[in-house]
Amino acid sequence: MNIFENPNEPDKDKCLGDNYVGPGMKDTQVQLVISLALGLSAFLAFCTLRPRWKSLYAARKRHSNSAIGLPALPDTFFGWMPVLYKITEQQVLASAGLDAYVFLAFFKMAMRLFAAMFFFAAVVLEPINRHYVDGRSPSINSTQSFLFHQYETYRTYEHAALLGDSEPPDREPDNSFNHDMGYLWSYLVFTYFFTGLTFYFMDKETSKVLRVRQHYLGTQSTITDRTFRLSHIPKDLRTEDAIKDLVQKLEIGKVETVTICREWKALDRLMEERQIILAKLEETWSVYLGHKPLAVTGSQPNGDTINGRAGPQDPMDEEAGETDRLLRGANAQTFVERERPQTRFWYGFLRLQSRKTDAIDYYTERLRRLDERIMAARKKTYDAADLAFVTMDSVAACQMAIQALIDPQPGRLLTKPAPAPSDIVWSNTYAPRLSRRVRSWAITVFVAVLSVIWLVPVAFLASVLSICTINNVFPAFAQWLKEHEIARTLVQTGLPTLVVSLLNVAVPYLYDFLSYHQGMLSQGDIALSVISKNFFFTFFNIFLIFTVFGAVTSIFDVLRNSLRDTTYIAYTLARKIEDLSVFYTNFIMLQGLGLFPFRLLQFGSVALYPINRMGAKTPRDFAQMVQPPMFYYGFYLPTALLVFILCLVYSALPGGFWVLGLGLAYFSLGYFTYKYQLLYAMDQPQHATGGAWPMICYRVMLGLVVFQLTMSGYLALRRAFTVALLVVPLFVATLWYGWGFRRRVEPLTKFISLRSVKRADDGEEGESVMVDGDDDGTGVERMGRDVLRRGSTVDEDREKGLRFVNPSLIVPLEQPWIYQDPPPPLVQSDAGYATTPVAGSDDGEPESDLPLLGAESPRVVSASSTPSSSVSLGDTHIWRD
């Protein structure tokens, strides 16, 4: 029941947004049983399958050299849990890198914060609520009457303002100093206390993250750490020598290499086309080798029947004895050549003519001609773009270039840190700047509009599942639901929670696709953009719209009312937060207790495995199936941030200790789930430098602002206006903290301080400073790099031999992967392409170094295939591109 409905009036059949989710203890109990049933079944299934499916649940441990330093997990049912718990932060950092460390640091910070808040909320605040709110305060009906009276007073004032009446109705007296309402001051105290706790833990964890990040990046020297990105280059400087001279004259260090991005669009398209043809050729070979040889059946005593035609009698049959004929049988079979697959190609005027031909020969010839065109394209000179990558001789020189202004004119020669070579989206490096800006703004506007549109299906599904809507359409079914409380709870509360959770899982895939086409230069920028977009969706749709606005049609009403009275949003937020407490409690419960074990189980990969197995045809497909799946932070971090905000918002409200307890369980289970996946099961982007931490902190500050607005509105609804007004300094302090964070802390999350860069003469090159468990930095533990990092960081291992060069220019061309072992890549020589020598074949005999897909070998012939009887293609016009 909506607390703002007049309890003295009869019930009305209204299907408003406030009635979608009806609060009740039975709803929470049923949701708890469902969540525990789902979670325990998934967890037990994971414990059972983990030692059996190591190719899935230990994929990273089996394929990544970075995971060598991790301990092996026992194959017992629960034995892996203590070993995983004992893995230290140093091991996480050495094996998974900074992004994994930062991601898990957020979960550890949330665990510590909500454990402390849960203690004080349960021990101090909850007894006050039980004594005053549940004891001496009016009953539920009288409380609803009081809130309804307050709401009607506000609406009367609003109506008078619309009519132009300057005299508002008399306000109720301030209850701030009412002796019977004195307990409201405890809410103000705990609002300040919980805000201070959040600042304390966040500031403490931020200092630790910065210290670890600076030491980690300062002690390594990868090509990425020594390279900066130079953009907005004027046309007269778009040569390697000109840029090198420019940087050399700055006297900040020596330039090793300069890579100017050029218009490689034609070459990149040829490489994309080659990948398509290569996949088709491999699929054609798999079809051909998968066919059984044709059989020649002899059913006549005086001759064989071959393909339905009578053939001459075998002369050996005349001399064969009766025993031989009896042993061979009347239906003797002789195996002949496999049937070669055919394909149809189109040619002629407007590609109107077609012809079927041998598919292996066709795709092999197309691949050979593409290789020739790629060879020629690689030797061409392309126009220079306004972007370059400059590699310095030291990390310090690179950092000085990044943190300095190069050109006196605004908007020219801008420097930024360079992404890893394998992280660059090369197609965007030469795209016109205007085109990338248009795409960026268009997708940003589309995401903003889409976030509003998402409310329509959410509100529709929620309204369809409400009792009042069902009563209007199916009265008998609604009556049955009213008589069966558990069924009503499943329909009215459980299903909306499940729908919102599933939408929260599916939408990130769409935003990931949109971010990839937004024109960003690196995969790291795309990942951060996905985090931002998905958080905007979860916060705007699942929280802000669902609570403050209620429905799309009321957005403009709320905005109009808030312009006339700045306290309107605080009133509305506090009122709706109370109404939707059961919904958000069930949401946190389902996300933590129910869905985290399914993420540990990797239910999506398990469910899709039979489909992928049936769709796999080539050895390359089967090899990709056993590769570790990618861990995308943008898919998981926004939901965790939303749960963090919900825990803050409900922390000081009556019954808030339940939400804090569920939040503590959520972040505890999430920490160990993601710790296992990041270390053993899933891979991550390369050379990530913890760029998500400032995003996390800013969204925590946003949660504090919402928490303070909610508490101010909650106190104002109880006419404690003075107490509500005293929350305003907290709001100002949060904004001031955010401004200081941006000025003092954020630069250290983007750059490396010059004092942190370790040089050879510092005496610390062989050591690194890692912090595990120390809070003030006094207990710093120093480990030898050969112990902690195995001689190098995970980034240094990944970037050995990499250069800032478009892969289309230098990558060896792949041969068709036909058999179980992958073929060697083609290497370029003066005479063309030839394969590298192979040590030996499957039968132990060395294979000859024969040219493959070169000018003298127009098609691939396997050892088990027979010469094709198809017509020779030669140099006919049908393969000319």
**CATH number of the structural domain spanning residue 245:** 3.30.70.330
- Answer whether residue 411 is part of any domain: yes
pLDDT at residue number 761: 56
Domain coverage including residue 327: 294-336
Q: Extract the tokens encoding 463.
A: 């309204």
pLDDT at residue number 865: 36
- Answer whether residue 599 is part of any domain: yes
For range 568-579, the mean pLDDT: 72
**In which band, very low, low, confident or very high, does the pLDDT at 204 lie, cut at 50, 70 and 90?**
very high
- Answer whether residue 654 is part of any domain: yes
- Answer whether residue 74 is part of any domain: yes
Pair (712, 583) in one structural domain: yes
Pair (238, 91) in one structural domain: no
SS3 813: coil
Q: Extract the tokens encoding 69.
A: 């330093």
pLDDT digits (tens, 9 = 90+) for 582-621: 888 888 998 999 889 999 998 888 888 888 888 888 888 8
- Answer whether residue 395 is part of any domain: yes
- Answer whether residue 252 is part of any domain: yes
- Contacts from 654-661 at CB under 8 Å and sequence distance 24+? 654/129, 654/133, 655/126, 655/129, 655/581, 656/121, 656/125, 657/118, 657/121, 657/122, 657/125, 657/126, 658/585, 659/581, 659/584, 659/585, 659/588, 660/114, 660/117, 660/118, 660/121, 660/122, 661/118, 661/122
Asked if the model's pLDDT at residue 52 lies above 80, the reply is yes
The half-sphere exposure of 276 on its side-chain side, counting CA atoms within 13 A, is 8
Asked if the model's pLDDT at residue 542 lies above 90, the reply is no
Task: Calculate the average pLDDT of the chain.
Answer: 76
CA 784 distance to own-chain centroid: 34
**In which band, very low, low, confident or very high, does the pLDDT at 519 lie, cut at 50, 70 and 90?**
confident
pLDDT digits (tens, 9 = 90+) for 63-111: 766 656 788 889 899 999 999 999 999 889 888 888 999 999 999 999 9
Pair (595, 675) in one structural domain: yes
pLDDT at residue number 797: 75
Pair (129, 58) in one structural domain: yes
Asked if the model's pLDDT at residue 830 lies above 50, the reply is no
SS3 309: strand
Which of 732, 756, 780 represents a domain boundary (last residue)?
756
Which of 756, 775, 796 represents a domain boundary (last residue)?
756
- Answer whether residue 765 is part of any domain: no
Pair (202, 239) in one structural domain: no
Pair (191, 323) in one structural domain: no
pLDDT digits (tens, 9 = 90+) for 159-188: 444 444 444 445 567 777 887 788 889 999
Weakest mean pLDDT among 207-211, 389-393, 394-398, 689-693: 689-693
Pair (90, 123) in one structural domain: yes
> What percent of the chain shows pLDDT beyond 90?
32
pLDDT at residue number 171: 55
- Buried/exposed 840-850: b ≥16 CB within 10 Å, e otherwise: eeeeeeeeeee
pLDDT at residue number 258: 94
Of 73, 212, 39, 59, which is closest to residue 603 (Cα–Cα)? 39
For range 741-769, the mean pLDDT: 74
**Angle (nearest 5°) at CA 532 between 209 and 56:** 75
pLDDT digits (tens, 9 = 90+) for 724-744: 899 999 999 999 999 999 999
Pair (563, 652) in one structural domain: yes
Pair (209, 317) in one structural domain: no
**How many CB atoms are located within 10 Å of the residue 87 CB?**
17
For range 234-257, the mean pLDDT: 92
- Answer whether residue 856 is part of any domain: no
Q: Extract the tokens encoding 509.
A: 């895939």
Question: What is this structure's pTM?
Answer: 0.79
pLDDT at residue number 6: 41
Who wins on pLDDT, 278 or 334?
A: 278
For range 550-566, the mean pLDDT: 54
Asked if the model's pLDDT at residue 492 lies above 80, the reply is no
Q: What is the total count of domains within the chain?
A: 3
Write the CB contacts of 293 (distance below 8 Å, at least 6 apart in sequence): 335, 336, 337, 338
Pair (562, 594) in one structural domain: yes
Asked if the model's pLDDT at residue 671 lies above 50, the reply is yes
Pair (197, 78) in one structural domain: yes
For range 734-757, the mean pLDDT: 91
pLDDT at residue number 172: 61
**Angle (nearest 5°) at CA 203 between 201 and 209:** 100
Which of 756, 790, 815 represents a domain boundary (last residue)?
756
For residue 417, the surrounding DSSP H or E stretch is strand 414-417
Asked if the model's pLDDT at residue 4 lies above 70, the reply is no
Q: What is the DSSP letter of 817?
A: -
Bridge partners, 231 (sequence order): 387, 414
Pair (68, 206) in one structural domain: yes
